[in-house]
């Protein structure tokens, strides 16, 4: 099965834009995709890295449901969170032609500039090699609870 078909299967819908697989599990299945900054119809896409692993998506959802977003914000220095958002935004913006004048994606991880909006996006960024203290924190929580062994490591590539 090709990557686009497999990602569609994992998402339960067709992807709306172009992407590359940024991280795979040991068997080669997509774990994280790196989206283009615009969807196929030109809509800005703020989410550069997107978690598609079925197992990890479920595990992170359970972490969020258990108060993970509030805990992460309480345990991680706000300046470190803000810096992670700035790095993410800068990386995404390098994929946009400097001559482009239309609407642009905005914000950092998960389209926000402050705080924590979505642990899934932080985990995806961290697994793809991004310097993201929230993503690292979430992965530690998952591994410590024996919720999931990721089978991938930050920056494991394609």
Determine phi and psi for 99, rounding to 5 degrees: -85, -10
Quick: pLDDT tens for 59-89. Answer: 999 999 999 999 999 999 999 999 999 999 9
CA distances from 45 to 17, 68, 95 (A): 9, 25, 12
Stretch 123-149: mean pLDDT: 90
Q: Which string of DSSP letters, residue by residue, matches the chain?
A: --HHHHHHHHHTS--SS-EEEEEE-TTS-EEEEEE-SB-TTS-B---SEEE--HHHHHHHHHHHHTTHHHHHHHHS-HHHHHHHHHHHHHHHHTTS-TT--S----SSGGG-SSS-S-HHHHHHHHHTT---HHHHHHHHHHHHTTS---S--TT---
Query: Rounded distance, CA 61 to CA 107, Å?
Result: 22
Quick: pLDDT tens for 13-38. Answer: 999 999 999 999 999 999 999 999 99
Range scoring the smallest mean pLDDT among 1-5, 66-70, 149-153: 149-153
Q: How confident is the model at residue 44 (pLDDT cuts 50, 70, 90)?
A: very high
């Amino acid at each position: 099965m090709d990557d686009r078909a497999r990602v569609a299967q994992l998402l339960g819908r067709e992807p709306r834009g172009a992407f590359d697989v940024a991280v795979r599990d040991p068997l080669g299945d997509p774990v994280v995709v790196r989206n283009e900054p615009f969807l196929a119809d030109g809509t800005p896409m703020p989410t550069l890295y997107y978690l598609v692993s079925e197992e990890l998506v479920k595990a992170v959802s359970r972490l969020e449901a258990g108060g993970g977003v509030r805990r992460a914000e309480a345990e991680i220095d706000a300046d470190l969170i803000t810096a992670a958002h700035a790095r993410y935004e800068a990386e995404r913006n390098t994929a946009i032609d400097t001559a482009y004048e239309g609407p642009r994606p905005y914000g950092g991880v998960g389209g926000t500039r402050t705080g924590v909006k979505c642990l899934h996006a932080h985990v995806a960024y961290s697994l793809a090699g991004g310097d993201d203290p929230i993503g690292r924190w979430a992965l530690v929580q998952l591994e410590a609870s024996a919720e999931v062994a990721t089978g991938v490591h930050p920056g494991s590539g394609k």
